């Protein structure tokens, strides 16, 4: 239960920061988001691994470092944390906005690709800096992971919304920052990217120990 509580708390503060930053200080939002993600990873990494992202959890599971029995509880904790964080934002910063657009055509394809690429980069980075035997007990993993989200939000945030995380996509939908009809795009792009990142990691790091999943 400690692992699931850590995932809930970390994801809650991630989505709380995303909503607050986007609504109050959008120019600085990528930096705030990358920073709080790094902080939550350092705070919770020793407890749960601090995935804070269903796509990352899937990648870690397929890589062999998370038992299958823990996959759904991790996802549930992350989604609940995202729902809590976004609900707090709606209470703290009530904002009446017009309905966000539903993506279609080229805009939808571009958004899917943007989400896939940077979720892949995020999951691939996590696998390399936080699960590889080549980086035992390193101190840079949180900065590296937060840096990917900072880069992605800056580079393609306006194209897709810059979720790179199905739980964050849920929070964006609750906060009215994206249309509910776009949710499937974030989920499919994110989970596909997590699976592909796991394959890429195991192929490119032949020394990786995919051994038995942790309990």
**Looking at residues 142-159, what average pLDDT do you find?**
96
**Looking at residues 117-146, what average pLDDT do you find?**
90
**Looking at residues 89-96, what average pLDDT do you find?**
88
Identify the band that residue 212 occupies on the pLDDT scale cut at 50, 70 and 90. Answer: very low
The domains of the chain, with CATH numbers, are 2-92+106-204 (1.20.1080.10)
In tens, the pLDDT along 44-70 reads 999 999 999 999 999 999 999 999 999
pLDDT at 150: 97
Longest dimension (CA), the chain: 53
Whether 213 shows a pLDDT value over 70: the answer reads: no
CA distances from 156 to 100, 113, 146, 174 (A): 17, 10, 16, 21
């Amino acid at each position: 239960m400690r692992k699931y509580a850590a995932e809930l708390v970390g994801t809650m503060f991630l989505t709380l920061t995303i909503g607050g930053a986007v609504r109050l200080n959008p120019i600085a939002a990528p930096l705030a988001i990358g920073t709080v993600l790094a902080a939550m990873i350092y705070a919770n990494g020793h407890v749960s691994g601090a995935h804070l992202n269903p796509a990352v959890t899937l990648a870690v599971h397929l890589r062999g470092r998370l038992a299958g029995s823990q996959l759904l509880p991790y996802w549930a904790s992350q989604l609940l944390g995202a729902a809590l964080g976004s609900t707090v934002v709606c209470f703290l910063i009530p904002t009446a906005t017009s309905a966000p657009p539903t993506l279609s055509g080229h805009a939808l394809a571009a958004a899917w690709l943007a989400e896939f690429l940077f979720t892949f980069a995020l999951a691939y980075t996590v696998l390399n800096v936080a699960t590889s035997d080549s980086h035992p007990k390193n101190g840079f993993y949180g900065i590296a992971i937060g840096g990917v989200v900072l880069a992605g939000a800056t580079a393609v945030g306006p194209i897709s919304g810059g979720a790179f995380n199905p739980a964050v996509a849920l929070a964006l939908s609750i906060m009215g920052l994206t249309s509910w009809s776009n949710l499937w795009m974030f989920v499919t792009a994110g989970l596909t990217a997590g699976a592909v990142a796991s394959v890429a990691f195991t192929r490119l790091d032949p020394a990786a120990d995919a051994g038995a999943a942790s309990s």
